[in-house]
Chain A
Amino acid sequence: MELADLSRVAQNAATAKAITGEWDYPGFDQLLKELIAYDKTMDARVGRRKIWMLISIFICTLAFVTMLVLLNFVNGAAFGGAGFGGAIANLIVSIQLWRKSKKLALPEAALEMLHQLVRFLHQDLDPKAKITTTIDLSGLTDEKKQSIIPMQWSYLDPWCTIRFKLRDGYVVLVRQTDSFIETTRTRKNARGKKKSKTNWKKQSRVTARIIPPAPVKWGAPPKVDHVWERIKVVAKQDLSVAVLDRWWAYKTPTHAPTDAPPAKEIVGMLFRLCSMRPLEAN
C-alpha cells in the first residue's frame, strides 16, 4: 500500500510519524491496519533497494577493474572512465534511494503491539469514550541522542502513551518508554589496524495505571515478578491509582534491538491491575 492509497488520517500519521488524538475503536483499528500495510510495502522497498545497492557496488568494482585493463588500449581510458563514472553515479543514486526509503519506514514492532493491544481489549472499551493516544513513531533520532561518555550514547524514547476508558468507568493509562545504550569499542589489531565493534542494549519500561471513577478501596495486590515488576498504589488528591511497572531488556550487536514487549504481556499487566478493583467492579 502506497502513501497515496492511505486515508487522509493515515497519510498524516505516516508523514508525521506520530499518532496523536482521540479515536473510537473502529477508526483506530483501521488506522493501525493501514499503517501496518504501508510499513510492509516500505519494508519490501527497502529490501529491494538494498539489493540494488549491493549490485551497484559489485558493478562499480567490475567497472573499476575493466577501466584498469582498458588503460592499456588506445581510447581505452575514455571508455573505461566513462563506464566507471556511470557505475559510481548508479551507486550514489541507489544509496540515496535506499536511505530515503529507510527513513519512510515505520517501526513495525510498535504498530503490531498497538494493534494487538486494542484488538485484545476492544470488547472492554466504553463505546461512548474515546481512545486518547500520543504515539511517536520516529524511532531513534539525533534529537533523542545524548553522549554519556566518549564512544557511548544513550537514547530516551518515551514513544507511547495510550489512555482509554473501560465499560465499568475505570480509566486505563499505558505508557511505554524505551531507552537505548549504544557502545562502540575500538582496538588495534596485531597489524596496527583499527577495529571497532558496536553493541546495543535496550530497556523497555511499560507503566500501566488504572484510575477509578471514584475513590475506592483497592483489593489484594496480584502476583508480580519481583525482579522485573513493581506494583504500587499512589494517592493523589482524593483518588488512589494502582500502578504496575514492568521492564524488559534486550541486547544486540551492530544495530538497535527491534524486539519489543509483546501486547499479550501488557494485557496481562492490565488484567492483574484490574483484579485489584473492588469486587462489585469485577
Chain B
Amino acid sequence: MKCQWQTGLLSPEPCGMMAMGGCSGCGQTICGAHTVMGPNGPACPQCANSQPGYEQNEDTVAAATRGGYYQQYGKPGYFSKQDESSLNNKKLERDDDFET
C-alpha cells in the first residue's frame, strides 16, 4: 500500500511512499513522514489539523492553508454569470505585453 496523502497546493499529487498505517480520522493510508501522533492515534496532516491535541508541523500548516483556499474560493469550476461575461469581454483579450 502507498501513502495516499496529497502533497502540494496547485498540482496535488499523492505522496506515493510506502504506507506505514492508516489515519484514525479519515482512514486513508499514510507513510511515516505524513503521520502525526496524537491522543486519538496516528492521523494524516488534515485530520491532525482539525483535531485538538495533535502537534502542528509544516504538513499540518500546509493542509490548513489548502483547506483555507478551498473554503475561500470554492471547488474548481465555480463561477457566476458575471464571471462568465467578464471572460467573454473582447476588450480584455488584447494583451500586448504577453510573454511566455
Chain A residues within CB distance 8 Å of chain B: 120-121, 123-124, 166-168, 170-173, 209, 211, 219-224, 226, 230-236, 239, 241, 243, 264, 267-268, 270-272, 274-276, 281-282
Question: DSSP class of A's interface residues: helix, strand, loop or mixed?
Answer: mixed
Are A167 and B78 neighbours in the complex by a CB distance under 8 Å? Answer: no
Given known pairs A124-B9, A124-B11, A236-B100, the reply for A221 and B79 (CB within 8 Å) is yes
Asked whether, in the complex, the Cβ of B72 is within 8 Å of the Cβ of A226, the reply is no
Please report the C-alpha to C-alpha distance between residue A234 and residue B74 in the assembled complex, in whole angstroms: 24
Q: Would A123 and B62 count as touching, CB distance under 8 A? A: yes
Interface centre among A123, A170, A172, A233 (most CB of B within 10 A): A123
Interface residues on B, range: 20 to 34
Contact B80 A282 (CB under 8 A): no
Known: A234-B93, A270-B10. A222 touches B86 (CB 8 A): no
Given A211-B100, A223-B80, A239-B100, CB of A232 within 8 Å of CB of B95: yes
- A173 to B89 Cα, complex, angstroms: 23
CB distance A232 to B9 under 8 Å? no
B80–A230 touching, CB < 8 Å: no
Contact with A along B25-47 (1 / 0, CB 8 A): 00000000000000000000000
Which 9 residue pairs are nearest across A and B when measured between Cβ atoms? A275-B76, A232-B92, A123-B8, A234-B95, A124-B8, A124-B10, A220-B79, A168-B11, A274-B10
* B residues in contact (CB < 8 Å) with A: 7-11, 13, 62, 65, 69, 72-80, 82-84, 86-87, 89, 92-93, 95, 98-100
CB distance from A133 to the nearest CB of B (A): 14
Chain B residues near A232: list those with CB within 8 A. 87, 89, 92-93, 95
Among B7, B11, B95, chain A packs the most CB atoms within 10 A around the CB of B11
- When distances are taken between beta carbons in the complex, the residues of chain A under 8 Å from B7 are 123
Q: In the complex the two chains form, is B92's CB within 8 Å of A230's CB?
A: yes
B residues near A166, Cβ cutoff 8 Å: 10-11
B95's nearest neighbour on chain A, judged by CB, is A234
Contact of A272 among B11, B73, B80, B98 (CB under 8 A): B73
Partner of B83, one of A124, A223, A233: A223
Q: A168-B11, A173-B99, A221-B87 are in contact. Are A268 and B73 (CB under 8 A)?
A: yes
What are 30 A-B pairs at a CB distance below 8 A?
A123-B8, A124-B9, A124-B10, A124-B11, A167-B13, A168-B11, A173-B100, A220-B78, A220-B79, A220-B83, A220-B84, A221-B83, A222-B73, A222-B78, A224-B83, A226-B82, A226-B86, A231-B83, A232-B89, A232-B93, A233-B87, A234-B98, A236-B100, A264-B65, A267-B9, A267-B65, A270-B10, A271-B10, A271-B73, A281-B11
Tell me if A267 and B69 are in contact (CB < 8 A). Answer: yes
Task: Chain A residues near B89: list those with CB within 8 A.
Answer: 232
